Amino acid sequence: MPNIAEKQIYKDQGPDGGDVEVIPSGAQITVESGGAIDIESGAAFEIAGADISADLAAAEGLAAEFALIDGLTAEAAELNKLNGATVTVAEINVLDNILAGATIVVGAEGGGTTINVTIQFTDADGNDMATPVSCTWYLADDAAGLDPASVAHSTSPAIGADGALIQTLADLAGIIISEADGDVDIDFVEAGALTKYLVLVMPNGSLVISDAITHAP
């Protein structure tokens, strides 16, 4: 497609009787890097005869909002589910700083009987939680968390330095509560040989499962 520099712009008469610069059919305007189209006060920017100056003004400053879309992985069909939604911004913001995941690190057995397990709770962006959060926990005999344990440690699990532990099934399950920065650590003590997996149930129902917590005899 030729640039307008390659075709002469000619004048025509506008609806108000004034001259109108006409770009011939098939030509185009190219604004090179560093250039700009300057629409002065009182002028209009029209497409197919419709003034879109107000629409352009409304879009001013939207760069930050559009930047939020960068990295979006949802497909069009998924986004179309929002069509007709009545949810408000305040309701969507309820999801801000909501527990969505956790990182569990199983420490080495110390003192021959104690294994310290640390937990860092995170939000949907993978950031550390900025407020105390809680979730259900239980011990399992398998790495998939499908076989809840029925045999407990010889000593009750206990908080090491951070967080709180509530037991609803003695030594096998309960509720775990983090510190204000989303971390917890638990000491598991066993005098004999025992292998368990710590399972955390996230608010959305997904499971976060530790590596094997293995006590040597």
| Series of mean pLDDT values for 10-residue runs along the chain (217 residues) | 48 55 75 80 76 72 67 77 80 85 95 93 94 97 97 94 95 96 96 96 96 92
pLDDT of residue 7: 46
* Count, residues in the chain: 217
pLDDT of residue 5: 47
Q: How far is the C-alpha of 124 from the C-alpha of 29, rounded, in Å? A: 44
The pLDDT assigned to 99 comes to: 94
| pLDDT value, residue 193 | 94
Whether the Cβ atoms of residue 106 and residue 197 lie closer than 8 Å to each other: no
Distances (CA, A) of 94 to 88, 131, 204: 10, 14, 14
Handedness of CA 143, 146, 149, 155 (dihedral sign): positive
Question: What's the CA gap between 128 and 160, in Å, rounded?
Answer: 19
**CA atoms of 149 and 142, how far apart (whole Å):** 9
Residue 9: per-residue pLDDT: 46
DSSP code of 141?
S
Could you give the domains of the chain? 101-215 (2.60.40.10)
Whole-number pLDDT of residue 1: 52
Position 19 scores a pLDDT of: 62
Measured distance CA(7)–CA(9) in Å, rounded: 6
Q: Tell how strand 155-159 and strand 101-110 pair up.
A: unpaired
Tell me, what's the pLDDT at 36?
79
Q: So what's the pLDDT on residue 94?
A: 79
* Residue located via tokens 């937990």: 119
